[in-house]
Structure 1
Amino acid sequence: MSIETYIGRRVEVIYQNGKGEMSQRVVTVHSVSGVSARVFDCAKQAFRTFSLDRILAVMPAARRVS
């Protein structure tokens, strides 16, 4: 499933940066346009822009148990 279907939702992504390093992050998808996705990184508490071709996997984020 593509990241566009998750706009407005919290997801986990596996992302490979320009140096080839991989990370798993929990983000909220705000918008997708052209070749990038604008997301809010929950751990860093900041907006980030991800290149779509560097997103290796996306899935709904696990719900927190209270």
Structure 2
Amino acid sequence: MRIAKYVGCVVDIIYEDRAGKLSKRRIKVQAINGLFVRAHCMAADAPRVFRIEGILAVDPVKHRAG
């Protein structure tokens, strides 16, 4: 998965944490640091760090004109 191409973009992800719990998150990708993605989580309105291997799907958010 090429999440690095989304640095600076807002994306929806499906994420599996270490305990195996799945969640859908809307994040703004800020940086890729080795095996981790640093992002701003829109739901929590807070910074978060995600393991790249835990990101199962990425869907860029399309901005509406207007």
TM-score (norm 1): 0.90
Q: Which amino acid aligns with 2:52?
A: L
Pair 46,64 (structure 1): closer, same or farther in 2 beyond 3 Å: farther
Q: Is 1:41 the equivalent of 2:41?
A: yes
Calculate percent identity across the aligned residue pairs: 35
Deviation digits for residues 8-63 of structure 1, max 9, x if unmatched? 00000000011100000000000002100001000100000000010001110244
Structure 1: gaps spanning 5 or more residues? none
Displacement over 4 Å in runs of 4+: none
Aligned residues: 66
Q: How does 1:46-65 map to 2 (within 5 A)?
A: 46-63=46-63
State the superposition RMSD in angstroms: 1.6
